[in-house]
Amino acid sequence: MTARPAAAKARKPASLPKSDGDAGVKAFIASLEPWQAAIARRVDALVVKHVPRVNKAIRWHCPFYGVEGQGWFLACNAFQRHIKFSFFKGSSLEPAPPIGKFKDVRSLDLRESDKLDEKQMAAWIKQAAAIPGWDGGANRYGGAKL
């Protein structure tokens, strides 16, 4: 009997401390699997292109994107088999991203075989950045406010 080779285990994203600015986001992206990093870099570039006043941060060990005075509009998180982009007021977007576990939040999960629809992602980014976002739960979670 021939033993099957063990499946390669996915890298876990870096558990980064809370920080403000681009450096933490770049460190998070660099810690991802290559296919996840490629998608995350592309989404990060779309945010920078379409939201020139974007504020980037690491909150709860993952990248957050927001606009000063409006709150956070997007977060990214990586899992073993997919990468997730969550729009905090995603239920207000047209069309709304497909996945929703919470009242306002809508997400897009991409697997390695999926192709990022850059046109749709750019449209969501522009819409989300233009409306009031999430306050970071500053009163409930100890100051993650933008």
Measured in whole angstroms, how far is the alpha carbon of residue 3 from the centre of its chain?
39
N-to-C CA span, the chain: 58
- pLDDT, tens only, 22-41: 999 999 999 999 999 999 99
Tell me the C-alpha distance between 82 and 22, whole Å. 23
Instruction: Name the fold adopted by 19-134.
Output: Aspartate Aminotransferase, domain 1 (3.90.1150)
Nearest to 137 by CA among 88, 83, 87, 86: 88
Q: Do 27 and 20 touch, CB atoms closer than 8 A?
A: no
Region 123-140 average pLDDT: 86
The neighbour count for residue 70, using CB atoms within 10 Å, is 19
Three-state DSSP state, 117: coil
The amino acid occupying position 136 is G
Per the listing, tokens 């980037």 go with 56
Tokens of 78: 């990586």
Tokens of 23: 């450096």
Tell me the C-alpha distance between 56 and 127, whole Å. 17
pLDDT band at 6 (very low <50, low <70, confident <90, very high): very low
Does the pLDDT value for residue 143 go beyond 90?
no
Domain boundary assignment for the chain: 19-134
